[in-house]
Amino acid sequence: MTGSCRWLLALHSSTAELGVGLRCLDGSLPDRIASFALGRALSNQLLSCVEEVLPAEDWPALGRLAVATGPGGFTGTRLTVVLARTLAQQLQLPLDGVGSFLLVARRLALPGPTWLVQELPRRGLVAGLYAPAAGGAGVVELRQPRLYPDSAALAALDPAPQRPAAVAVAEDVGELLALAHQAHRAGRVSPWQPVLPTYPTSPVGAS
């Protein structure tokens, strides 16, 4: 399957659906993106799902890795980040960690500063503030996702419009592939050590 191609592998599990993306770094082949509605079965089926996209015997042909770091479910996000970190360490590859809200913001093509919001029953909401980058090239994160009590608290910080941070797994994996490929073309080193899950609802983050 690999031929002479070096592969970029992307993983996204910030929701109950696992997304796996594969891109040939020289652009000679079409992307492959697959999604798996696993829910709590992710811990048992993660590796087999990844192997459906790229068999383990072809993992030495990987040239770069990317993973969505959340916010998302604690277990799902942690599992894919750990797998990506392990592969990057063992294969000595660059690893790009990208927030799931940032991927949503890129896909939505926001016209101006916008809060992306995920409601948590009885706990408040997780929100981050995003805006188009200068010159219209991409999106910038003005405020990292964190836990807020309600939408009024967001408005007090910035009166920007508020939109749901609704993940579309296959499309967001496409955005993740695009960002990591851009980093590859720019020669960005992207060490694996700083890539960690985002947990805005943790007691430490909320204090």
8 Å CB contact between 14 and 77: yes
Instruction: State both tokens at 75.
Output: 């277990």
Mean pLDDT of 126-146: 93
pLDDT beyond 50 at 207: no
Low-confidence winner among 19-23, 40-44, 164-168 (lowest mean pLDDT): 40-44
Instruction: State both tokens at 44.
Output: 């048992």
pLDDT beyond 50 at 83: yes
Distance CA 19, CA 150 (A): 30
Q: Measured between alpha carbons, how far is residue 160 from residues 33, 100, 136 in Å?
A: 33, 20, 18
Q: Measured between alpha carbons, how far is residue 29 from residues 10, 23, 26, 95, 204 in Å?
A: 16, 7, 8, 21, 44
pTM as predicted = 0.93
DSSP sequence for 38-99: -GGGHHHHHHHHHHHHS-GGGGGGEEEEEEE--SS-HHHHHHHHHHHHHHHHHHT--EEEE-
For the chain, give me the number of helices (H) and strands (E)? Answer: 6, 9
Mean pLDDT of 42-69: 96
Q: Measured between alpha carbons, how far is residue 54 from residues 7, 121, 155 in Å?
A: 9, 37, 45
SS3 call for 194: coil
Which pLDDT score is estimated for 200?
Answer: 81
Element (H, E) at 105: helix 100-108
**Please, which pLDDT band fits residue 167 given cuts at 50, 70 and 90?**
very high
Low-confidence winner among 4-18, 44-58, 125-139, 190-204 (lowest mean pLDDT): 190-204
Low-confidence winner among 41-45, 48-52, 94-98, 139-143 (lowest mean pLDDT): 41-45
Which pLDDT score is estimated for 1?
Answer: 53
Opening angle at CA 157, ends 124 and 165, nearest 5: 50
> Domain residues of the chain, as ranges?
7-100+169-206, 101-164
**Overall CATH class of domain 7-100+169-206:** alpha beta
By percentage, how much of the chain surpasses pLDDT 90? 83
Which pLDDT score is estimated for 206?
Answer: 41
SS3 content of the chain, % helix, strand, coil (to 5): 40, 30, 35
Between strands 114-120 and 162-164, the pairing is: parallel
Low-confidence winner among 21-25, 53-57, 118-122 (lowest mean pLDDT): 118-122
